[in-house]
Amino acid sequence: MYFITIHQHLARLNTGSRLSMENNNGKVVLKDQDRVVAVLSKQGAQFWSAKINAIESVTVLAMIRRYREDSEEGYQARCKVGQWELPLVEVVFDDTSIG
Predicted structure pTM score = 0.83
pLDDT in tens, 69-99: 887 777 777 777 778 888 999 999 988 866 5
Domain definitions of the chain by residue range: 6-97
In this predicted structure, the answer to whether residue 29 has a pLDDT above a threshold of 50 is yes
Give the residue ranges of DSSP H helices in the chain: 6-11, 42-49, 73-76
Q: Over pLDDT 90: what percentage of the chain? A: 56
